[in-house]
Amino acid sequence: MNPQAGYSPEVMDHFYHPRNVGAMPEADGVGKVGNPVCGDVMQLMIKVNDDVIEDAKFQTFGCGAAIATSSMITELVKGKTIDEAVKISNRQVVDALKGLPPAKVHCSVLAEDALRSAINDYLQRAGRPPIEKPPREKKE
């Protein structure tokens, strides 16, 4: 069996060479989410200056797609304002990775949720209200 079956070269690249992996002790916002069905856990950290996300890192204990989507979302979010970043959807992450097998789309949802959780942690630390989650578009 080909272990890469169904995965794009972009997914394999971000799985084998994840960007922005590691701890961020001085993070301004931390989001930690898990999927109770598969048991994967994702932690995403952001460094923010004047509402612009200057850096993002992740630590993911999960499947290859969870690692690839974590890696991609940290790349997508860098340089974005908080208002822009909160609009990043799991679909954008999937598109940037040139697709995911249907059974792995939930891994990208975990990445979106981790980012939103980190943003809301940042807002909460600043005494600002959290951003409500927009209704999720259909995934498949």
Interatomic CA distance for residues 4 and 16, integer angstroms? 11
Q: Confirm or reject binding of residue 110 to ligand FES (CB under 6 A).
A: yes
Among residues 45, 48, 107, 114, the one annotated as catalytic is 107
Helix, coil or strand: residue 49: strand
Q: In 3-state terms, the chain is what percent helix, strand and coil (to 5)?
A: 40, 20, 40
Instruction: Return the ∠ at Cα 138 (arms to 77 and 124), rounded to 5°.
Output: 40
Q: Confirm or reject binding of residue 100 to ligand FES (CB under 6 A).
A: no
Write down the least CB distance from residue 60 to ligand FES, Å.
8
Write down the least CB distance from residue 34 to ligand FES, Å.
9
Q: Confirm or reject binding of residue 66 to ligand FES (CB under 6 A).
A: yes
The site map against ligand FES for 32-51 (x = CB under 6 A) is ---x--x-x-----------
Interatomic CA distance for residues 133 and 94, integer angstroms? 19
Q: Which is nearer to ligand FES, 12 or 52 (CB)?
A: 12
How are strands ordered across the β-sheet holding 52-61?
29-34, 41-49, 52-61
Let me know if 63 is a catalytic residue: no
Catalytic residue list:
38, 107
Q: Which residues bind ligand FES (CB under 6 A)?
A: 35, 38, 40, 62-63, 65-66, 104, 106-107, 110
